[in-house]
Amino acid sequence: MNARRPLRTPAELAEAGLVAPEDLARIEAVAERYAIALSPAMAGLIDPSDPNDPIARQFVPDAAELTTTPEERDDPIGDLAHSPVEGIVHRYPDRVLLKAVHVCPVYCRFCFRREMVGPQGLGTLSPDAMDKAFAYVAAHPEIWEVILTGGDPLVLSPRRLAEIMERLAAIDHVKVVRFHTRVPVVEPERIDAALIAALKASGKTAYVALHANHPRELTSDARAACARLVDAGIVMVSQSVLLKGVNDDPETLAALMRAFVETRIKPYYLHHPDLAPGTSHFRLSIEEGRALVAALRGRLSGLCQPTYILDIPGGHGKAVIGADAVRPKDGCYTVSDFRGNEHVYPPEP
């Protein structure tokens, strides 16, 4: 498929052969509630003849999104409970989220902020709200790191990004600026010299956390975009969501983590899917997730191991939920090795 611009409506998806005519009415109903965008780079990766295509599953709306389960919630990770001023989330002592923009180049069907992002979402922070957000960061010397997220901060123009970075440069206690983005994968052409210069404009240490969930997303264009960032001195880490029908098997997860490391991106977080509305078809159990993470232990280099985490609903922050290798027993411990065998620690003399 050779789309030249993002596909944004059910009709455009149907025309591209990604939505069956008989499903169109239900997909229109999904579109009334949740934003749609599929970038040309991602559209080009989809095999329309594969009903289980893992790229399509992430971006093409599904009638299952019309089903909301009782445990799902509009603000699954509790951003609002920790938002002292508009655009800032201050959940942990030493860092804040700065949500400058609420649009994305693609809209993930499992998005944890799906009630906030999109053309009908919370929009871009006004100049006045931006002033208040920077004043908040400046007034809190414990803030060591600012994480630009949203929405996808790399949809902002280099000029807007440079402005943000120059304002952060003036706040001495902020040492690290992190960008959470899908852009290097879904719109790799955006990663050009002007954007990279903007990311470095503060003189602070810059990290880019790349969100990708399937190894096919790491195309040669995506890898080249990441190389431009890393060569410019920007450190990259990954974040992925464990998703049923996308990456919930050890082979796919292993290939994804290896693709990150080959691209000089350190695997960082593997998120258990959040309780976002209309996403139950993506969720697997924590036990299933732990079994997958345990399967990676034996087969992959230590460089390729992500940390499996759950964002505790209600805004209580992240918890590491990978399998415990160590258990207390009779005044010592039993430790499981990567084959599942148990050993006593310390060993008997």
Binding-site positions read 104, 108, 111
CA angle in degrees (0–180, nearest 5) for 67-73-79:
145
Question: Nearest 10 degrees: CA dihedral of 100, 106, 107, 108?
Answer: -110
The catalytically annotated residue of 8, 92, 160, 268 is 92
Annotation marks residue 318 as catalytic: yes
Give yes or no: 91 in active site. Answer: yes
Q: State the catalytic residue, choosing from 114, 274, 283, 308.
A: 274
- Write the CA distances from 177 to 129, 130, 147, integer angstroms: 19, 16, 6
Kindly state the tokens that stand for 323: 């399998």
Q: How far is the CB of 294 from ligand SF4 (least distance, A)?
A: 26
345 counts as catalytic: no
324 is catalytic: no
The interface region with ligand SF4, picked from 101-109, 156-164, 220-228, 246-254 by CB under 6 A, is 101-109
Of the candidates 30, 169, 147, 132, the one whose C-alpha atom is nearest the C-alpha of residue 97 is: 147
Stretch that binds ligand SF4, among 5-13, 66-74, 104-112, 157-165 (CB under 6 A): 104-112
Residue for token pair 């908040």: 136
Quote the CA–CA distance of 297 and 286 in Å, as a whole number.
17
Distance CA 102, CA 63 (A): 24
10-14 contacts, C-beta under 8 A, 24 or more apart: 10/36, 10/61, 13/38, 13/60, 13/61
Using rule CB under 6 A, residue 104 touches ligand SF4: yes
Residues in contact with ligand SF4, counted by CB under 6 A, come to a total of 10
Find the shortest distance in angstroms from Cβ 108 to ligand SF4. 3
Of 57, 91, 113, 190, which one interacts with ligand SF4 (CB under 6 A)?
113
Clarify whether 113 is annotated catalytic.
yes
Nearer to ligand SF4, 113 or 167 (CB): 113
Token readout for 255 is 């290939």
By CB under 6 A, tell whether 109 contacts ligand SF4.
no
Q: Minimal distance in Å, beta carbon 182 to ligand SF4?
A: 4
Binding to ligand SF4, residues 195-234 (CB under 6 A): 211
Tell me if 100 sits within 8 A of 153, measured CB to CB.
yes
26 noted as active-site residue: no
Query: Is there a catalytic annotation at residue 114?
Result: no
- Catalytic residue, chosen from 104, 107, 114, 190, is 104
Nearest approach in angstroms of CB 349 to ligand SF4 is 53
Which of these, 146, 145, 153, 160, lies nearest to 184 by C-alpha position? 153
Best CA proximity match to 274, nearest among 317, 238, 234: 317
| Closest approach of ligand SF4 to the CB of residue 126, in Å | 20
- With CB under 6 A as the contact rule, the residue among 42, 60, 107, 296 that binds ligand SF4 is 107
**One-letter identity of residue 161:** L
Q: Which one is catalytic: 53, 62, 152, 311?
A: 311
Asked if 50 is an active-site residue, the reply is no
> Which parts of this chain interact with ligand SF4 (CB under 6 A)?
104, 107-108, 111, 113, 117, 151-152, 182, 211
